[in-house]
Structure 1
Amino acid sequence: MNPAMSVVVFTAIAGAAQGLVVALAMATLMGVAMQGGFVANTLLLAAAMATVGLLSSFGHLGRKERAWRAVLMWRTSWLSRECLVLPAFIGWTLLWWALLPADGAAPVWLPLGALVLAALLWLCTAMIYACLRFIQEWAQPLTLVNFILIGQGAGLVLASALAAGADEDALLRRTGPAALGVLLAALAARWASLARNAALRPKSTLHSATGIRTPRLVQTSMGMSAGAFNTREFFHGRTQAFLKNLRWLFLLCGFVLPALCAAGALAGGPGWLWGLAVALQVPGLLAERWFFFAQARHPQNLYYQVVS
């Protein structure tokens, strides 16, 4: 597939916003003492991140004034459901911010509602891709697992960086170890999905598509003099070397290096290691999400292989 950067940015930043709100909600439900101003600012940051993600998702639409129609198929479409749940998540986060007491001790139903909406949003976003059975790379349970673990890991790292900067030691004692654990779990799950996808073989071949039984069948032209919608939108055009390098980049920057920073901070290192972990993770997660879309092999590419 040829990833649209607007969707790459949306899924990466919205997932991190969900993880940040979940981290804050869990800390609130566990009774972690936090300053009211810190909680309010964190909620505003999460709402702003989710809003930026929502706005960026409009970037790949041809007729943006018709975007509202995306919600009409909510009974059968995961995309429509996502379009309903995301604004609800943003609205609930802002409601939590608006009703937050000065001491930061919010009513239980506010963080509980945030947890439910974050879980629903992860489900809707992941199922947009996991329900496409003809794309084998996406049609697997690890798609949902990775969306949750990667988003939650990013949210916990960001929460730890914010807590370290604001001297919220009680929160950092909870989010720090959790961030390291979730990062390692996310790395294991993403590695498992990469191994699975590398072993996949297309269910259809040129032989089965054409009915030609010759031992060696090679396509040298797609039968057109120029590119078309199919060649632009369903194949990224990058080399295998580029994909290999990008894979190592997002594994290192998205998981390994932030985990090392987290381990160093937990071992008594300086608090700025959490900020470094966030800085490393941002390009890593964007690269990971681009790779997630690009690695998907659409069946139509069995035909549109070569532009001659």
Structure 2
Amino acid sequence: MICDLDPSASGKPVPKPDASSPDPQAIHGLLLESLLEEQQTLRTPVALFSEAYDSKAPSKRFSHLIPLSRPDSDEQYAFEVNLDACTGCKACVAACHSLNGLDDDEAWRDMGLLVGTRKQPYLQTVTTACHHCVDPACADGCPVLAYDKDRITGIVRHLDDQCIGCSYCILKCPYDVPKFNFKRGIVRKCDMCHGRLSEGEAPACVQACPNEAIKIINRKVGEVEREGQIIAGAFDSSYTGPTTRYTSKRPLPEQAHAADEGRLVKDHAHMPLSWMLVMTQMSAGAFLTATLGLGLQALTIDDAGWISGVAFAIGFAGIHLSVLHLGQPLKAWRAFMGWRKSWLSREILAFGAYAGAGSMALAAWLLPLPLLVKPAWVLSTLVGIVAVATSIMVYVDTRRPYWSAKLVSLKFIGTLLILGTALTSTVSAFRGSPNASLFFLSALVLQWLMFGIENREQETALKDEKSARHRSARSMEFLHAPQLAARRFLFVLTGLLLPLLVAGGFSRPILFALWTALAFTSQLIERIYFFTACSGPKMPGN
């Protein structure tokens, strides 16, 4: 830029200094003041745009980007994103973060990326937030009813004061929308700035986009796609019916995929849940084997009573450990509220019933009440099996590929049988039961079978790139190699070395107890990468 330093250029006279006492510094100050005053009167394009922008009322500035009326009975609010206008500047992300007062590590809107191939080059940024689904999985899974889908607008809101921080909605959502806030111990998410919309104002992301790539529309619920994907790389729309509409004048190439499609990341470990699952399944399995052993006369009443007592203690401890998973553990008592829709609520109720049935069985044995002992043990066994079945459904219902009904059932039932039989063999060995070795042999055979099936499933998914579990298999191979190696080492100990020591005549109670502890450790390691290797679905490129 060229500046004219001639004082007369401003059109204003500059006072002349007294010839008898010239002061160059004063002249320079007066000149600078004159130039600054002139600068305030310049009519630059930016100034003109700012004045025109400020001259309109806030409700009129973005009236063409939001609905001017409430949705009809068969409609709801939805985001519409013009991909051709999105440049990936992240103004929407910054505005959402600022207006909602989010923490530094928190984001309710993300920016992803789609790419093509060498033969079919393609590059497209994708802005994404909550899709305010027709059938929101987060709301269906929440055990405390902390989600509300507005009957008029269709906006899916999260009720922060209701949340207990269980994170099940995070597992349920196939678009990775709910985000856990560690500072507050709850989950939070986009609410489409519903307060601004109700006042005729545009949401933060809509208002911030310089290219008007995002807007809010009234969308007919019947027109929401319930098959395919809303965009390449997204989860199948048949699950939740996401309402966001992505538009573009350029058709997306068939080979378009998420830029981070091959990236492997460990998911959250959920340690308290890992312990809870293994311990409760071990407990239910021990009740099962004790009841069967009693029915087959392989155990005495007292043998079965001691086994059930140890099993009850382990299960009771596991149930209480699960509370440590919550961000708001003092609100855990409310977790039954969603039992009509949430498998997590049903699991909590089932294990509560299991604790009650187990207590009744122990009381019948200790008092003693001979007529009630066997029926009480049968009831405890049945309730325990039902409780483990609800645990299976908690994860199957998320629709995550690694948590298929087949694989989760195999893992959970396998843990129940192996550890339940192992615990029975240990307690009965310390009790001097002649059939302790029979239970130990059963646990050994079950472990061999389980180890073979798990390895076959892993190898199959790893070799088949089209397998839904291929990504999880790769995660286990490359990110969980130490855990897999540890489990193989434990299998050598429990599957070969310890059985040889037992056959060699060493102390059965000690060896059985050591075998049970090592088998428990192996199952716990598996349950940890059950979570960390599940590779949950999300929007492309986030």
Same fold by TM-score, threshold 0.5 exceeded? yes
State how far apart, in whole Å, the 2-side matches of 1:301 and 1:257 are.
43
Partner of 2:122: none
From 426, 431, 452, the counterpart of 1:166: 431
Post-superposition Cα deviations, 1:32-56, rounded to whole Å, max 9, x if no partner, equal 24252x4333222211111111111
Tell me which amino acid in the other structure corresponds to 1:259.
G
Q: Which stretches in structure 2 are left out of the alignment for 5+ residues?
A: 1-266
In structure 1, which of residues 115, 136, 155 is the aligned counterpart of residue 401 of structure 2?
A: 136
Identify if the C-alpha distance between structure 1 residues 197 and 73 changes in structure 2 by more than 3 Å, giving closer, same or farther.
farther
Structure 1 Cα separation of the partners of residues 294 and 501 of structure 2:
23
Please tell me whether residue 247 in structure 1 is matched to residue 494 in structure 2: no
Name structure 1 gaps, 5 residues minimum: 204-234
| Cα deviation code 1:260-282 (max 9, x no counterpart) | 35643664532132122123223
* 1:291 counterpart residue number: 529
Q: Does 1:257 align with 2:493?
A: yes
Tell me what 2:457 maps to: 193
Tell me which residue corresponds to 2:315. Answer: 50
2:100 aligns with none
CA distance in 1: counterparts of 2:376 and 2:498, whole angstroms: 29
Pairwise CA distance, 1:287: 0.9
- Say whether residues 1:279 and 2:517 are aligned partners: yes
The equivalent of 1:86 in structure 2 is 351
Per the TM alignment, residue 66 of structure 1 is displaced from its structure 2 partner at its CA by: 2.0
Q: Quick check: 26-35 or 14-23, which moved more?
A: 26-35
Number of the residue aligned with 1:183 = 447
TM-score between the two structures when normalised by the length of structure 2: 0.45
CA distance in 2, matches of 1:65, 1:81: 19
Aligned to 2:272: 6
The match for 1:119 among 349, 373, 385 is: 385
Q: Deviations over 1:177-211 (max 9, x none)?
A: 221222122223322332344345587xxxxxxxx
Show the counterpart of 2:146: none
**How many Å apart are 1:100 and its aligned residue?**
1.5
Contact 1:149–1:185 (CA<8 Å) still a contact in 2?
A: no
Q: More relative contact order in 1 or in 2 (CA 8 Å, sep 6+)?
A: 1
How much does 1:240 deviate?
A: 6.1
- 1:141-152 correspondence runs (5 A): 141-152=406-417
Q: What is the aligned-residue RMSD (CA, Å)? A: 2.8
Identity %: 21
Residues 5-33 of structure 1, C-alpha deviations (whole Å, 9 max, x = no match): 11111111111111111111111121224
CA distance in 1, matches of 2:446, 2:476: 32
Q: Which segment drifts farther, 106-115 or 144-153?
A: 106-115
CA deviation map 1:218-237 (0-9, x unaligned): xxxxxxxxxxxxxxxxx9xx
Q: Give the corresponding residue for 2:25.
A: none
Q: Which has the higher helix share?
A: 1
Please tell me the residue identity of whatever aligns with 1:151. L
Give, as a single letter, the amino acid of the residue that structure 2 aligns with 1:53.
Answer: G
CA contact (8 A) 2:364 2:370 kept: no
**Could you tell me whether the CA contact under 8 Å between 1:21 and 1:43 is conserved in 2?**
yes
Quickly say closer, same or farther: Cα 1:279–1:107, change in 2 above 3 A. closer
Q: 1:144 deviation in Å?
A: 0.8
Contact 1:176 1:262 in 2 (8 A): no
Task: Say which of 34, 40, 43 aligns to 2:305.
Answer: 40
* Per-residue deviation, 1:252: 3.6
Q: TM-score, normalised on structure 1?
A: 0.77
State the alpha-carbon separation in 2 of the partners of residues 283 and 298 from structure 1. Answer: 25
Which amino acid is 1:5 matched to?
M
SS of 1:246 mapped into structure 2: helix
CA distance in 2, matches of 1:106, 1:178: 29
Secondary structure of the 1:71 match is coil
Paired amino acid for 1:159: T
Task: Give the Cα separation in 2 of the matches to 1:200 and 1:128.
Answer: 27
SS at match of 1:115: helix
* Cα distance, 1:85 vs structure 2: 0.9
1:18 maps to what in 2? 284
